[in-house]
Structure 1
Amino acid sequence: MRQSEIVDALSKIPALKVVTGGPALVVTVPAIGESLRLHAEAVTWLKHGVLPTGDPYLQLQARQQDHEVRLVLLNDNLGWVPPDVNSLLDTQIPVRITDAPEMVTYTDLERESVRALDGADRPDVNLFALTATLLVHRCAIVGALRLGLRPLRAVRLWHELWCHVGEFLAGPFWPDPYWDRLLLEAGVPLASYEEARAGERPAIEALTVADLRAMEPVLTVTRADDHFLAAWRQWMKLTPRQVCEVLAADLPEARIEVSLYIEGGGAVSMRIAPSGVFQALIELRLSFTTRSASLDEIRIADELKGSGLFSRLRSNIEGFTRALGLLSLKASVSGDGSVAFARAGYDWDRS
């Protein structure tokens, strides 16, 4: 969609402040003190409407990485569709909240956060209903975060509620460095591992497509483009240089190829063949959504068995998967290598 079309549509909501001139429109809702950025090429649909009060609103749909986001812009508020709760919880048991709202607004989020926290200390409180509220609010805040919003008061209120009922959740939340950084911004004290995780993100977020190519030929990626970069930023905890330092440690002839998919899967292949003479190969599959890795193949040239190369590969693979935050590593290879791998105890679970 053209930027001029979007500017014209936004002009029908007179209280909004729109700044043009850059690659994205900056739209500010003064009543809530928040701004969001709209890239014209990402907007796929918009429609005007009028509330029963007579106030105008604008519905808008835009692409964001691998999914669509829906927004409603008003003179004094902003609404969005929160992500599904099961995308945030690390549990094999599907969670369904029957009365969860399809869309939330900025002001409702703050008001309902206060109401939930006020009810937490009542003697007749329904802890499981309050836990559902905790989940709904987490989804709403994550949705706001993905839009570039910073509902810091709602974050602080959420954390207080979590301290009351977090133990009743169906499972832990997936590690989310963006969330950790939002907690820091809101002044919420973090555990030491959360602070470390939050600190890792700036280097990842600063990566460019050129950085994906910078380690060639030691490390190559299947597609050095914006889609691959988005997947790397979403899932990887290491920069390309760090991948080389960890996986190819003490293996100067190693060549690594990385495949990543925005939905949370990936593969890593490492081959050692100086001057074209084969020495070793590993094939590793990654699942960031299940926090697991599978070693599909590990091969070593016959003349190098017993040289210590197998132990080095094994150690590097373990260090690499740990650095990615994966909890399990399964060996599903065949032959002498797999026997040694299994005897070393590498069919294990870190959880």
Structure 2
Amino acid sequence: MDVVEVSQALEEMPGVQVAVAAGQVSVYVPAIEDAVHIDPAAVTGCRRIQAPNGDPAVQFVLNDAPLIIAPGDVVFEPVDTGAVLDSTMAYRITNAPELVAYTEMERDAETTARNCERPGPINVDSAAATLLAVRCCIVAAARVGLRPVRSVAWWQRGFTALGGELPLPPFRTDPVWDELTREASSR
């Protein structure tokens, strides 16, 4: 697809703001206070659909992965744990969703952080798995140009509440993650 086709697909989307710059389509979704950045060359498919609440939505296929934009949310596919963990051993999150909404990611990040900060005993293995799942969502969001700084801030709070160590292999070096954590800590 090209810039014009991607922009036209979003024309009837109420409330979103579409801008084109340097061959990219930026779609600001005020409800989440963030913007998706779409490279039209990566789009292999596009169709108008309805969100579960009845709102109009547009589903794009970017590099074989779905990206759904609605007036109140953005839905995307979380990355695999291998994209965030530096390990030769595969880790699988058995209850990970195939798709996640931005608002769901933020809610899960906040809930997890609050649970980790709660007084009393905590199941560290369960908290680590949830933090891993949230991180997979955050990394996926960043890959479509979103800047989920609030989710990163909540993730950091949960990680810090657990003493900065998880029963997981180390995380891969990720300059985008590092940038997001610096931005989150400066707020």
Match of 2:175 in 1: 177
User: How is 1:12-31 mapped onto 2 (pairs within 5 angstroms)?
Assistant: 12-20=12-20, 22-31=22-31
CA distance in 1, matches of 2:104, 2:169: 26
How far residue 22 of structure 1 moved from its aligned partner, in angstroms, is: 4.2
Aligned residues: CA RMSD: 1.9
| Residues 113 and 159, structure 2, Cα contact 8 Å, conserved in 1 | no
Larger RCO (CA within 8 A; separation ≥ 6): 2
How far residue 126 of structure 1 moved from its aligned partner, in angstroms, is: 2.4
Structure 2 gaps of 5+ residues are none
Q: Share of identical aligned residues, percent?
A: 35
| Residues 91 and 170, structure 1, Cα contact 8 Å, conserved in 2 | no
1:269-289: CA deviation from partner (whole Å, max 9, x where unpaired): xxxxxxxxxxxxxxxxxxxxx
1:207-253: CA deviation from partner (whole Å, max 9, x where unpaired): xxxxxxxxxxxxxxxxxxxxxxxxxxxxxxxxxxxxxxxxxxxxxxx
Structure 1 gaps of 5+ residues are 189-351
1:7 maps to 2:3? no
1:153 maps to 2:133? no
Match of 1:208 in 2: none
Report SS of the residue matched to 1:117.
Answer: helix
1:142-184: CA deviation from partner (whole Å, max 9, x where unpaired): 1112222111111111011112335333211112222112211
Amino acid at match of 1:23: G
How far residue 76 of structure 1 moved from its aligned partner, in angstroms, is: 1.0
Distance 1:92 1:38, change over 3 A: closer
1:83 maps to 2:85? no
1:114-161: CA deviation from partner (whole Å, max 9, x where unpaired): 211222225353221111110011111111122221111111110111
Report SS of the residue matched to 1:174.
Answer: coil
Q: 2:109 aligns with which of 110, 113, 117?
A: 113
1:268-327: CA deviation from partner (whole Å, max 9, x where unpaired): xxxxxxxxxxxxxxxxxxxxxxxxxxxxxxxxxxxxxxxxxxxxxxxxxxxxxxxxxxxx
TM, length-normalised to structure 1: 0.49
Report SS of the residue matched to 2:120.
Answer: coil
User: How is 1:120-131 mapped onto 2 (pairs within 5 angstroms)?
Assistant: 120=116, 121-123=118-120, 125-131=122-128
Report SS of the residue matched to 1:102.
Answer: coil
TM, length-normalised to structure 2: 0.88
CA distance in 2, matches of 1:178, 1:156: 14
| Residues 51 and 70, structure 2, Cα contact 8 Å, conserved in 1 | no
Structure possessing the higher radius of gyration over alpha carbons: 1
Match of 1:187 in 2: 185
Report SS of the residue matched to 2:170.
Answer: coil
How far residue 41 of structure 1 moved from its aligned partner, in angstroms, is: 2.3
